[in-house]
Structure 1
């Protein structure tokens, strides 16, 4: 019998937490993800199905919405759906069941890693980290950004709480960029 143990994207048995001054970076491994792309001429039906799944209107350009199942806009008629892994381990199948043939759904859970940045001076960190104008981001905003040469998504939960999604295969590089920006900014 195998004795397997799950590890985080940074290789730990527990999520990594780093604090510099009043900003904390927390690795968040317990998120299920699935991408959704509406099929040609099925965009309206796909949006309605996704709206029913997340419980609120499907997010428009640059936005995210929903709780506990939420979605953020990733491109024209495309979204990333996220939910707690503990209750949605089969999220991709749940999304596929909800949207049927109106959209293509792909499992993304192990393709991305998430870091939550929290603290009073998190905006100073984000200014060094990426070319977004994070000070203009409001609760519910989502944006694509290059961070350390990586294609990432940045979600604004409040003026002092952001989530950063980046490729899991580059989790170490992304974490290094974040903590370096924290040390430099604070």
Structure 2
């Protein structure tokens, strides 16, 4: 009988937490993710059903919906990444497929992405070293896709004064974490 234990994207049993001069980088381990893309000819129906699920209009370009139980990030025309707490939505793709029926294509993304939350005063300086995102101009709910350390990542602004979430490829979680913590040490 196998005795398997889940590990985080960085290989630990607990989330990695790093703090430098009041800014904390916390590895996200409780996020379940699925991508949702409207099928051809089903864009309106998909948006209507997704609005019912999210409790709000699906995010427009450059935006994110930061809510409970679901959050959402615009990924492309009629495409979104939907997130929820893994404790209640471990099988998020199946849940969304059942609710969205044949209007969308839904794919499981939980183990494809690693996430890091940056919190504290000074995250603007950290992001200026990491990527070409102008954090000083962002507002809560703004989101963008950018390159960090040669990796395609999403940067989602929760609070421009002190909270941002970064999602990047799980296969490169160690490199992304290294880039973030190195920028923290250099900027702060």
TM-score, structure 2 as length reference = 0.97
> Residue 56 of structure 2 aligns to a residue in which SS?
coil
In structure 1, C-alpha distance between the alignment counterparts of 2:56 and 2:126, rounded to whole Å = 31
Q: What corresponds to 2:180 in structure 1?
A: 178
1:127 aligns with 2:128: yes
> Residue 127 of structure 1 aligns to a residue in which SS?
helix
In structure 2, C-alpha distance between the alignment counterparts of 1:143 and 1:49, rounded to whole Å = 24
Matched residues, number: 186
TM-score, structure 1 as length reference = 0.98
1:58-85 deviation digits (Å, cap 9, x = unpaired): 1111111132211110011100000000
Cα RMSD after superposing both structures: 0.7
Matches within 5 A, 1:109-128: 109-128=110-129
1:63 aligns with 2:63: yes
Structure 1 residue 100, shift from structure 2 partner = 0.9
Structure 1 residue 122, shift from structure 2 partner = 0.6
In structure 2, C-alpha distance between the alignment counterparts of 1:136 and 1:98, rounded to whole Å = 36
> Residue 180 of structure 2 aligns to a residue in which SS?
helix
Q: What corresponds to 1:154 in structure 2?
A: 155
Q: What corresponds to 1:95 in structure 2?
A: 96
In structure 2, C-alpha distance between the alignment counterparts of 1:162 and 1:101, rounded to whole Å = 34
Q: What corresponds to 1:51 in structure 2?
A: 51
Is there any run of 5+ residues in structure 2 with no aligned partner, and where?
none
> Residue 2 of structure 2 aligns to a residue in which SS?
coil
In structure 1, C-alpha distance between the alignment counterparts of 2:62 and 2:95, rounded to whole Å = 24
Q: What corresponds to 2:6 in structure 1?
A: 6
